[in-house]
Amino acid sequence: MKAMILAAGKGTRVRPITYTIPKPMIPILQKPVMEFLLELLRKHGFDQIMVNVSHLAEEIENYFRDGQRFGVQIGYSFEGKIDDQGKLVGEAIGSAGGMRRIQDFSPFFDDTFVVLCGDALIDLDLTAAVKWHRSRGAMATIITKSVPQEEVSSYGVVVTDNENRVRAFQEKPSVEEALSTNINTGIYIFEPEVFKYIPSGVQYDIGSQLFPHLVEINAPFYAIPMDFEWVDIGKVPDYWRAIRGVLLGEIKNVQIPGYQVAPSIYTGLNVAVNWDRVDITGPVYIGAMTRIEDGAKIVGPSMIGPNCWICGGVTVDNSVIFEWSRLGPGVRLIDKLVFGRYCVDKMGTAIDVQAAALDWLITDARQTPPAEIPPEHQAIAEFLGGITV
Protein backbone atom coordinates (compact mmCIF):
# COMPACT_ATOMS: atom_id res chain seq x y z
CA MET A 1 0.00 0.00 0.00
CA LYS A 2 1.05 3.59 -0.61
CA ALA A 3 1.44 6.57 1.69
CA MET A 4 2.95 10.04 1.84
CA ILE A 5 4.73 11.89 4.64
CA LEU A 6 4.55 15.69 4.54
CA ALA A 7 8.07 16.88 5.36
CA ALA A 8 8.57 20.14 3.45
CA GLY A 9 7.66 22.73 6.10
CA LYS A 10 10.18 25.12 7.66
CA GLY A 11 8.99 24.42 11.19
CA THR A 12 9.09 28.09 12.20
CA ARG A 13 7.25 27.44 15.47
CA VAL A 14 9.95 25.00 16.58
CA ARG A 15 12.84 27.40 16.07
CA PRO A 16 15.70 27.54 16.94
CA ILE A 17 15.80 23.72 16.62
CA THR A 18 14.67 23.88 13.01
CA TYR A 19 17.42 26.31 12.01
CA THR A 20 19.61 23.25 11.50
CA ILE A 21 17.24 20.26 11.85
CA PRO A 22 14.13 19.80 9.68
CA LYS A 23 11.05 19.13 11.77
CA PRO A 24 10.68 15.43 10.79
CA MET A 25 14.26 14.88 12.01
CA ILE A 26 13.72 16.35 15.49
CA PRO A 27 14.92 13.61 17.84
CA ILE A 28 12.86 11.97 20.54
CA LEU A 29 15.70 10.61 22.69
CA GLN A 30 18.00 10.38 19.64
CA LYS A 31 15.39 8.90 17.25
CA PRO A 32 13.82 11.14 14.57
CA VAL A 33 10.07 11.66 14.66
CA MET A 34 9.77 10.48 11.06
CA GLU A 35 11.35 7.14 11.92
CA PHE A 36 8.46 6.41 14.29
CA LEU A 37 6.05 7.21 11.44
CA LEU A 38 7.81 4.82 9.08
CA GLU A 39 7.54 2.07 11.69
CA LEU A 40 3.81 2.70 12.03
CA LEU A 41 3.25 2.68 8.27
CA ARG A 42 5.23 -0.53 7.80
CA LYS A 43 3.30 -2.20 10.63
CA HIS A 44 0.04 -1.58 8.74
CA GLY A 45 1.28 -2.67 5.33
CA PHE A 46 2.23 0.70 3.84
CA ASP A 47 5.61 0.00 2.27
CA GLN A 48 5.70 2.44 -0.67
CA ILE A 49 6.15 5.92 0.74
CA MET A 50 6.65 9.28 -0.94
CA VAL A 51 8.13 12.15 1.07
CA ASN A 52 8.02 15.77 -0.07
CA VAL A 53 11.09 17.68 1.14
CA SER A 54 12.19 21.30 0.95
CA HIS A 55 13.75 22.93 4.05
CA LEU A 56 17.05 21.14 4.82
CA ALA A 57 15.96 18.38 2.44
CA GLU A 58 19.36 16.70 2.41
CA GLU A 59 19.16 16.00 6.16
CA ILE A 60 16.07 13.85 5.61
CA GLU A 61 17.31 12.19 2.42
CA ASN A 62 20.76 11.36 3.81
CA TYR A 63 19.31 9.71 6.92
CA PHE A 64 16.50 7.65 5.40
CA ARG A 65 17.97 7.06 1.92
CA ASP A 66 15.73 4.67 -0.04
CA GLY A 67 14.16 3.20 3.10
CA GLN A 68 15.68 -0.29 2.85
CA ARG A 69 16.98 -0.39 6.40
CA PHE A 70 13.52 0.61 7.64
CA GLY A 71 11.74 -2.11 5.68
CA VAL A 72 10.03 0.24 3.22
CA GLN A 73 10.64 1.94 -0.13
CA ILE A 74 10.99 5.72 -0.06
CA GLY A 75 10.92 8.27 -2.87
CA TYR A 76 11.52 12.02 -2.48
CA SER A 77 9.93 15.01 -4.18
CA PHE A 78 12.07 18.14 -3.75
CA GLU A 79 10.30 21.49 -3.62
CA GLY A 80 12.73 24.30 -4.37
CA LYS A 81 15.63 25.24 -6.63
CA ILE A 82 19.39 25.65 -6.80
CA ASP A 83 20.50 29.29 -6.49
CA ASP A 84 23.35 31.03 -8.31
CA GLN A 85 25.82 29.81 -5.68
CA GLY A 86 24.81 26.20 -6.24
CA LYS A 87 22.96 26.00 -2.93
CA LEU A 88 19.64 24.21 -2.50
CA VAL A 89 16.89 26.67 -1.60
CA GLY A 90 13.61 25.27 -0.35
CA GLU A 91 10.36 26.64 -1.77
CA ALA A 92 7.51 24.59 -0.36
CA ILE A 93 4.35 24.52 -2.47
CA GLY A 94 1.82 23.59 0.20
CA SER A 95 0.75 20.19 1.44
CA ALA A 96 -1.79 19.57 -1.32
CA GLY A 97 0.54 21.13 -3.87
CA GLY A 98 3.19 18.63 -2.83
CA MET A 99 0.76 15.76 -3.38
CA ARG A 100 -0.16 17.13 -6.80
CA ARG A 101 3.47 17.51 -7.91
CA ILE A 102 4.12 13.82 -7.22
CA GLN A 103 0.98 12.77 -9.07
CA ASP A 104 1.79 15.02 -12.03
CA PHE A 105 5.28 13.54 -12.31
CA SER A 106 3.74 10.08 -12.63
CA PRO A 107 0.40 8.81 -11.27
CA PHE A 108 1.82 7.21 -8.12
CA PHE A 109 -1.39 7.29 -6.09
CA ASP A 110 -3.61 4.75 -7.85
CA ASP A 111 -5.64 3.43 -4.91
CA THR A 112 -6.59 4.40 -1.36
CA PHE A 113 -3.60 6.13 0.25
CA VAL A 114 -2.66 7.68 3.59
CA VAL A 115 -1.02 11.07 4.15
CA LEU A 116 0.72 11.87 7.46
CA CYS A 117 2.22 15.11 8.72
CA GLY A 118 5.84 14.47 9.64
CA ASP A 119 5.80 16.16 13.04
CA ALA A 120 3.82 13.93 15.40
CA LEU A 121 4.17 10.74 17.40
CA ILE A 122 1.10 8.61 16.79
CA ASP A 123 -0.12 5.18 17.78
CA LEU A 124 -3.07 4.69 15.44
CA ASP A 125 -4.74 1.63 13.97
CA LEU A 126 -4.35 2.70 10.35
CA THR A 127 -5.84 -0.57 9.15
CA ALA A 128 -9.10 0.13 10.99
CA ALA A 129 -9.12 3.75 9.80
CA VAL A 130 -8.77 2.74 6.13
CA LYS A 131 -11.50 0.12 6.54
CA TRP A 132 -13.85 2.78 7.98
CA HIS A 133 -12.99 5.20 5.16
CA ARG A 134 -13.80 2.62 2.50
CA SER A 135 -17.01 1.54 4.21
CA ARG A 136 -18.35 5.10 3.86
CA GLY A 137 -17.39 5.42 0.22
CA ALA A 138 -15.36 8.46 1.19
CA MET A 139 -13.10 10.38 -1.15
CA ALA A 140 -11.33 12.04 1.79
CA THR A 141 -11.26 11.27 5.50
CA ILE A 142 -9.64 13.16 8.37
CA ILE A 143 -8.67 11.40 11.58
CA THR A 144 -9.80 13.71 14.38
CA LYS A 145 -9.26 14.02 18.09
CA SER A 146 -10.98 16.13 20.74
CA VAL A 147 -8.89 18.74 22.60
CA PRO A 148 -9.70 21.21 25.39
CA GLN A 149 -11.50 24.33 24.18
CA GLU A 150 -8.56 26.61 24.98
CA GLU A 151 -6.28 24.69 22.59
CA VAL A 152 -8.43 24.78 19.44
CA SER A 153 -6.75 27.90 18.02
CA SER A 154 -3.60 25.88 17.31
CA TYR A 155 -5.34 23.41 15.00
CA GLY A 156 -7.79 22.95 12.18
CA VAL A 157 -11.26 22.43 13.66
CA VAL A 158 -13.58 19.88 12.07
CA VAL A 159 -17.38 20.12 12.30
CA THR A 160 -19.42 17.06 11.28
CA ASP A 161 -23.04 15.96 11.10
CA ASN A 162 -24.49 12.87 12.77
CA GLU A 163 -23.08 10.65 10.02
CA ASN A 164 -19.56 12.03 10.47
CA ARG A 165 -19.70 13.91 7.19
CA VAL A 166 -17.65 17.10 7.33
CA ARG A 167 -19.88 20.18 7.15
CA ALA A 168 -17.41 22.88 8.11
CA PHE A 169 -13.67 23.18 8.41
CA GLN A 170 -11.98 26.02 10.28
CA GLU A 171 -8.23 26.46 9.98
CA LYS A 172 -6.88 27.61 13.39
CA PRO A 173 -9.92 29.66 14.48
CA SER A 174 -10.02 31.76 17.63
CA VAL A 175 -11.43 30.08 20.72
CA GLU A 176 -14.57 32.21 20.40
CA GLU A 177 -15.13 31.32 16.74
CA ALA A 178 -14.44 27.58 16.98
CA LEU A 179 -17.51 25.48 16.17
CA SER A 180 -16.13 22.25 17.62
CA THR A 181 -13.33 20.84 19.76
CA ASN A 182 -12.62 18.04 17.27
CA ILE A 183 -9.36 18.90 15.58
CA ASN A 184 -7.45 17.82 12.51
CA THR A 185 -4.52 15.59 13.52
CA GLY A 186 -2.75 15.80 10.18
CA ILE A 187 -3.64 12.19 9.34
CA TYR A 188 -5.61 11.82 6.12
CA ILE A 189 -6.98 9.06 3.91
CA PHE A 190 -7.66 9.83 0.26
CA GLU A 191 -8.86 8.26 -2.94
CA PRO A 192 -7.07 9.23 -6.19
CA GLU A 193 -10.22 11.14 -7.26
CA VAL A 194 -9.18 13.91 -4.87
CA PHE A 195 -6.63 15.13 -7.43
CA LYS A 196 -9.51 16.46 -9.54
CA TYR A 197 -9.80 19.21 -6.93
CA ILE A 198 -6.11 20.07 -6.50
CA PRO A 199 -4.75 22.49 -9.14
CA SER A 200 -1.36 21.85 -10.75
CA GLY A 201 1.62 24.17 -10.59
CA VAL A 202 0.42 26.39 -7.75
CA GLN A 203 0.83 26.53 -3.99
CA TYR A 204 -2.13 24.73 -2.44
CA ASP A 205 -2.79 23.68 1.15
CA ILE A 206 -4.80 20.72 2.42
CA GLY A 207 -6.26 22.36 5.52
CA SER A 208 -6.95 25.92 4.39
CA GLN A 209 -7.83 25.33 0.71
CA LEU A 210 -8.57 21.74 -0.29
CA PHE A 211 -10.79 20.81 2.65
CA PRO A 212 -13.00 23.93 2.56
CA HIS A 213 -13.46 23.34 -1.17
CA LEU A 214 -14.52 19.74 -0.59
CA VAL A 215 -17.09 20.97 1.93
CA GLU A 216 -18.31 23.60 -0.54
CA ILE A 217 -18.95 21.08 -3.32
CA ASN A 218 -20.51 18.56 -0.91
CA ALA A 219 -17.91 15.90 -1.72
CA PRO A 220 -17.94 12.57 0.18
CA PHE A 221 -15.67 14.01 2.85
CA TYR A 222 -15.72 12.43 6.31
CA ALA A 223 -14.04 12.66 9.70
CA ILE A 224 -13.52 9.77 12.06
CA PRO A 225 -12.78 10.41 15.74
CA MET A 226 -10.44 7.69 16.95
CA ASP A 227 -9.03 6.82 20.34
CA PHE A 228 -5.28 6.86 19.85
CA GLU A 229 -2.13 8.46 21.17
CA TRP A 230 -1.20 11.63 19.31
CA VAL A 231 1.70 13.78 20.43
CA ASP A 232 1.96 16.85 18.23
CA ILE A 233 5.39 18.47 17.98
CA GLY A 234 4.32 21.62 16.19
CA LYS A 235 5.83 24.04 18.71
CA VAL A 236 8.68 24.13 21.24
CA PRO A 237 6.32 23.57 24.22
CA ASP A 238 4.96 20.49 22.43
CA TYR A 239 8.47 19.09 22.01
CA TRP A 240 9.13 19.78 25.67
CA ARG A 241 6.04 17.83 26.68
CA ALA A 242 6.97 14.95 24.38
CA ILE A 243 10.41 14.50 25.97
CA ARG A 244 8.91 14.72 29.46
CA GLY A 245 6.20 12.25 28.51
CA VAL A 246 8.72 9.68 27.27
CA LEU A 247 10.92 10.01 30.36
CA LEU A 248 7.90 9.74 32.67
CA GLY A 249 6.57 6.69 30.82
CA GLU A 250 3.42 8.50 29.70
CA ILE A 251 3.92 7.90 25.96
CA LYS A 252 3.40 4.36 24.74
CA ASN A 253 5.66 2.59 22.28
CA VAL A 254 8.62 4.92 22.82
CA GLN A 255 11.34 3.22 24.81
CA ILE A 256 14.10 5.05 26.66
CA PRO A 257 17.33 3.94 24.96
CA GLY A 258 20.59 2.87 26.57
CA TYR A 259 21.23 1.17 29.89
CA GLN A 260 19.41 1.59 33.18
CA VAL A 261 22.23 2.23 35.66
CA ALA A 262 19.93 3.07 38.58
CA PRO A 263 16.18 3.44 39.08
CA SER A 264 14.90 5.90 36.43
CA ILE A 265 18.44 6.76 35.28
CA TYR A 266 19.51 5.71 31.78
CA THR A 267 22.74 6.25 29.87
CA GLY A 268 24.27 5.64 26.49
CA LEU A 269 27.74 4.18 25.98
CA ASN A 270 30.84 5.20 27.90
CA VAL A 271 29.47 8.02 30.03
CA ALA A 272 32.19 9.56 32.23
CA VAL A 273 30.73 10.13 35.69
CA ASN A 274 31.47 9.21 39.29
CA TRP A 275 28.01 8.29 40.51
CA ASP A 276 29.01 8.77 44.15
CA ARG A 277 29.98 12.40 43.55
CA VAL A 278 27.00 13.68 41.60
CA ASP A 279 23.39 14.25 42.66
CA ILE A 280 21.00 12.75 40.10
CA THR A 281 17.27 12.28 40.60
CA GLY A 282 15.41 10.52 37.79
CA PRO A 283 13.92 10.18 35.36
CA VAL A 284 17.07 11.18 33.51
CA TYR A 285 18.66 10.14 30.22
CA ILE A 286 22.37 10.83 29.59
CA GLY A 287 23.72 10.26 26.09
CA ALA A 288 26.87 8.39 25.08
CA MET A 289 30.31 9.92 25.62
CA THR A 290 28.98 12.62 27.94
CA ARG A 291 31.14 13.84 30.83
CA ILE A 292 29.55 14.88 34.10
CA GLU A 293 31.96 16.37 36.61
CA ASP A 294 31.85 15.94 40.37
CA GLY A 295 29.38 18.20 42.15
CA ALA A 296 26.88 18.42 39.29
CA LYS A 297 23.17 18.09 40.07
CA ILE A 298 20.62 16.72 37.62
CA VAL A 299 16.91 16.63 38.42
CA GLY A 300 14.45 14.82 36.20
CA PRO A 301 12.68 14.69 34.00
CA SER A 302 15.77 15.80 32.11
CA MET A 303 17.59 14.68 28.99
CA ILE A 304 21.27 15.31 28.27
CA GLY A 305 22.32 14.40 24.76
CA PRO A 306 25.48 12.61 23.64
CA ASN A 307 28.96 14.17 23.78
CA CYS A 308 28.03 16.83 26.33
CA TRP A 309 30.22 18.22 29.10
CA ILE A 310 28.51 19.14 32.37
CA CYS A 311 30.97 20.98 34.60
CA GLY A 312 31.14 20.84 38.38
CA GLY A 313 28.54 22.87 40.26
CA VAL A 314 26.08 22.80 37.35
CA THR A 315 22.38 22.21 38.01
CA VAL A 316 20.17 20.77 35.26
CA ASP A 317 16.55 20.69 36.43
CA ASN A 318 13.61 19.68 34.21
CA SER A 319 15.65 20.55 31.12
CA VAL A 320 16.66 19.21 27.71
CA ILE A 321 20.29 19.53 26.60
CA PHE A 322 21.13 18.72 22.98
CA GLU A 323 24.35 17.04 21.87
CA TRP A 324 27.78 18.69 22.07
CA SER A 325 26.72 21.19 24.73
CA ARG A 326 29.14 22.34 27.42
CA LEU A 327 27.65 23.87 30.55
CA GLY A 328 30.25 25.93 32.40
CA PRO A 329 30.89 25.81 36.16
CA GLY A 330 28.01 27.07 38.28
CA VAL A 331 25.38 27.24 35.54
CA ARG A 332 21.82 26.54 36.69
CA LEU A 333 19.37 25.46 34.03
CA ILE A 334 15.79 25.18 35.24
CA ASP A 335 12.98 24.50 32.73
CA LYS A 336 15.30 25.16 29.80
CA LEU A 337 16.25 23.66 26.46
CA VAL A 338 19.82 24.10 25.20
CA PHE A 339 20.37 23.74 21.48
CA GLY A 340 23.67 24.89 20.04
CA ARG A 341 24.10 28.58 20.79
CA TYR A 342 20.50 28.94 21.97
CA CYS A 343 18.93 28.59 25.39
CA VAL A 344 15.14 28.31 25.18
CA ASP A 345 12.52 28.40 27.90
CA LYS A 346 9.62 25.98 27.85
CA MET A 347 7.34 28.53 26.19
CA GLY A 348 9.72 28.88 23.25
CA THR A 349 11.45 32.19 24.08
CA ALA A 350 15.08 31.89 22.97
CA ILE A 351 18.31 33.58 24.06
CA ASP A 352 21.27 33.57 21.70
CA VAL A 353 24.02 33.03 24.27
CA GLN A 354 26.70 34.05 21.79
CA ALA A 355 25.03 37.35 20.94
CA ALA A 356 24.38 37.96 24.64
CA ALA A 357 28.08 37.34 25.43
CA LEU A 358 27.12 34.38 27.61
CA ASP A 359 28.95 31.78 25.56
CA TRP A 360 31.39 31.30 28.41
CA LEU A 361 28.46 29.68 30.23
CA ILE A 362 27.04 27.57 27.41
CA THR A 363 29.24 26.60 24.48
CA ASP A 364 30.20 23.78 22.15
CA ALA A 365 31.82 20.87 23.98
CA ARG A 366 34.26 20.48 21.08
CA GLN A 367 35.84 23.85 21.79
CA THR A 368 38.94 23.87 23.97
CA PRO A 369 37.93 25.38 27.32
CA PRO A 370 40.14 28.05 28.92
CA ALA A 371 42.91 26.74 31.17
CA GLU A 372 41.60 29.04 33.89
CA ILE A 373 38.26 30.72 34.38
CA PRO A 374 38.72 34.48 33.79
CA PRO A 375 38.58 36.36 37.10
CA GLU A 376 35.63 38.49 36.02
CA HIS A 377 33.61 35.38 35.17
CA GLN A 378 34.53 33.72 38.45
CA ALA A 379 33.56 36.85 40.37
CA ILE A 380 30.16 37.01 38.69
CA ALA A 381 29.48 33.35 39.43
CA GLU A 382 30.52 33.68 43.08
CA PHE A 383 28.54 36.88 43.57
CA LEU A 384 25.36 35.32 42.20
CA GLY A 385 25.94 31.94 43.80
CA GLY A 386 25.88 30.41 40.33
CA ILE A 387 24.38 31.64 37.07
CA THR A 388 20.75 30.87 36.35
CA VAL A 389 20.04 30.97 32.64
84 is in an annotated binding site: no
Residue 209's CB: how many other CB atoms inside 10 A?
A: 20
Annotated binding site for Mg(2+): 119
Annotated binding site: 119
